[in-house]
Each structure stands twice: as structure tokens, then as C-alpha cells.
């Protein structure tokens, strides 16, 4: 994803399904999803690393998987 000067950098929020020990933490950008429909996910330990971009349907499946295996 490239920076767009007309759209600010996403505000990242730590997932409530992340490990509370600080080891397995993911973040997502809910404001970005609300505006664009693109659900971004990243590893909180590597904020400048790659990001996963999901559709709303794929994100719902990701959350369901996290609930079932968390």
C-alpha cells in the first residue's frame, strides 16, 4: 500500500484476540476499513512490514477463525 497525501495514515488498533503476553499481536485499522472497505491487518512487532488487505467477507472469516482457535 502506498501513502496517499489525501488520505492520512491509518490509525492502528491492537486486536482483542491478540495474545496478552505481547508475543502474538496483530493490529487492524478500523477507521480505514470504515472509509474504504479495505480491512488492513499487520503484525504489531513489525509496523513497517507487510500488511494483509482483506475484504469485509474475508475479514469476518478471519475473526471467526480467531474466535474458534483463540
Q: What is the pLDDT along the chain (70 residues), one digit of tens a residue?
A: 444 555 678 999 987 766 666 566 889 999 999 999 999 999 988 999 999 999 999 999 998 998 898 7
pLDDT for 69 equals 84
Write the DSSP assignment of 24-51 as a string of letters.
Answer: S-EEE-HHHHHHHS-EEEEETT-TTS-E
Query: What pTM was estimated for this model as a whole?
Result: 0.76
Who's near 41: CB < 8 A, 6+ residues apart? 26, 27, 28, 51, 52, 53, 54, 59, 62
Amino acid at each position: 500500500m502506498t501513502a496517499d497525501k489525501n488520505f492520512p495514515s491509518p490509525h492502528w488498533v491492537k486486536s482483542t484476540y491478540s495474545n496478552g503476553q505481547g508475543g502474538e499481536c496483530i493490529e487492524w485499522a478500523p477507521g480505514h476499513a470504515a472509509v474504504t472497505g479495505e480491512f488492513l491487518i499487520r503484525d504489531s512487532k513489525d509496523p513497517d512490514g507487510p500488511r494483509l488487505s482483506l475484504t469485509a467477507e474475508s475479514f469476518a472469516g478471519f475473526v471467526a477463525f480467531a474466535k474458534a482457535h483463540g
